[in-house]
Amino acid sequence: MLRIYGRDADRLILRDATPAIPSDITPPDAVPAPQPVWFDLISPSLEETARVQSELGILLPTRDEMEEIELSARLYQEDGAEFMTMTALTKLDGEEPMKTPVTFVLKGPTLVTVRHAEPKPFTIFCNRALRSNGQTYGGGDEIMLGLIEAIIDRLADVLERIGNEIDGISREVFRGKSGTVSKKTQDLQSLIDQLGQKGDFLSSVRESLVSISRLVAYHAALESPQRKPSKETRQMVKLLQRDALSLGDHATFLNGKINFLLDATLGLINLEQNQIIKIFTVASVVFLPPTLVASVYGMNFAMMPELNWSLGYPWAVLLMVASAALPFYYFKRRGWL
């Protein structure tokens, strides 16, 4: 799909993506369409890609080239244009976001975006830019920065949501009160699964923020006589750099909190399991002396004085009870129970 946007005062206009009519056959009373400032390619066909390449005199990267991780393959200049690729995220409202590369190409005042998914920030930005909202889009540079700002805002909302969910997991880990040990262990194992999902989610968000930081830094470092950014644009670039950096630090903090909760959850599970083993160990030690007493009086020797004693049976029972009570009392005094 190819969407072409032109500029009308302080808003964008969605142009017809059909090929332009040659000027020699254009009706004299026809209103000329605004010059395109943004070509938005979404899973483009070969014909759509060839058309944009022909109009701007550039060679757009393929999807395989966009997915390469080398910095030289993501940020470079060619044919008088800037090629910048970042990692965007889709399906952020679910548990498993999907990573997709997005390429920004700046050729003079014109922007080209190449993507193979529909990240929500693109939709939000387009809806806002098509309305007259006081924001002036002088060219492709401002449009690209506006898109990146929308992406950063979306990631900020996601990090805030993940932080709240992690706080909820923290309360369940340290303040959960389950009825039985087995039920509590199952709850803790479920929390480990949730922490793993949140950790994977944060890894994707951090990767996207790192790619944004590199893209903005690369764009800000380029100097071109054809591109003279205004004071507002330079301030916008600095603001995006600070936002991406601060969100990256916050994502790192949340990732450290997840690691702490993961260690704490595993420690609690080990404590529960050790408590069960301790109960069995104490029980075996408590019942060992009575077993010894019963074994002694269970021997079939002819000369055993207690066998003919009328109080022999109560004596043996009392001795077994006492031999069990004394270790139990000792363990209780030492705080082992």
Q: Dihedral sign for Cα 193, 195, 201, 204, please.
A: negative
**Six-digit token pair at 197?**
């999902």
Provide the pLDDT for residue 21.
Answer: 43
Question: CA-to-CA distance for 271 and 121, rounded, in angstroms?
Answer: 46
Q: Domain limits of the chain? A: 2-274, 287-334
Provide the pLDDT for residue 235.
Answer: 87
What is the pTM assigned to this prediction?
0.77
Provide the pLDDT for residue 317.
Answer: 85
H or E segment at 197?
A: helix 181-221
Superfamily of domain 2-274: CorA soluble domain-like (3.30.460.20)
Long-range contacts (CB closer than 8 Å, 24 or more residues apart) made by 248-252: 248/206, 248/209, 248/210, 248/213, 250/159, 250/163, 251/159, 251/202, 251/205, 251/206, 251/209, 252/206
- Between strands 36-42 and 110-115, the pairing is parallel
User: Which positions ≥6 away from 237 have C-beta within 8 Å?
Assistant: 145, 216, 219, 220, 229
3-state secondary structure of 166: helix
Q: Dihedral sign for Cα 150, 151, 156, 158, please.
A: positive
Provide the pLDDT for residue 25.
Answer: 41
Specify whether the CB–CB gap between 4 and 34 falls below 8 A. no
3-state secondary structure of 57: coil
Residuewise pLDDT in 10s, the chain (337 residues): 888 888 776 678 887 655 544 444 444 444 455 678 889 999 989 999 999 999 888 899 888 888 888 888 889 888 888 999 999 988 888 777 888 999 999 988 889 999 998 888 888 888 888 876 656 666 788 889 889 999 999 999 999 999 998 888 888 877 766 555 566 666 777 888 888 888 888 898 999 999 999 999 988 887 655 556 677 778 888 999 999 999 999 999 999 999 998 888 888 778 777 877 877 887 788 888 888 888 887 777 777 777 777 787 888 888 888 888 888 888 788 776 6
**Six-digit token pair at 213?**
């930081």
DSSP count for the chain of H helices, then E strands:
9, 7
- Determine the Cα angle at 141 with ends 136 and 210, to 5°: 120
Query: Please, which residues bridge with residue 105 across strands?
Result: 83, 112
Question: CA-to-CA distance for 9 and 16, rounded, in angstroms?
Answer: 18
User: Which positions ≥6 away from 59 have C-beta within 8 Å?
Assistant: 53, 78, 79
DSSP per residue over 3-41, as a string? EEEEEETTEEEEE--SPPPPGGGS-TTPPPPPPEEEEEE
